[in-house]
Amino acid sequence: MLKVIFYQKSDRVNKNGESPIYARLNYNDKQISISTGQAISKERWASTNNLRNQLKIEKEIVIKNLLDLSQLNAAKKNY
């Protein structure tokens, strides 16, 4: 079964003060981590419960939608 976990690499910060979001994919005891190409501030990542809470800022809504699509595409490729 495919499991996707999104996490933030808080040790890396871009010029806007945002850290990149990575996806960790686990499948059949194999694990890879890939960059999603998205970034968010540490404070917003924490205050939105890793983008799980109700989102109010447009950029966060767009990022969440992109992450959801990435997760669906990864799941489709395993079936």
**Nearest CA to 2 among 30, 33, 27?**
27
- Tokens found for residue 27: 């499948």
DSSP 8-class letter at 28: T
- Tokens found for residue 53: 């809470």
Stretch 10-39: mean pLDDT: 93
How many residues are present in the chain? 79
39-70, pLDDT tens digit by residue?
A: 999 999 999 998 888 888 999 999 999 999 88
Mean predicted lDDT score pLDDT of the chain? 90
Predicted model pTM: 0.80
DSSP code string of 6-18: EEE-TT---TTSE
Cβ atoms within 10 Å, residue 20? 17
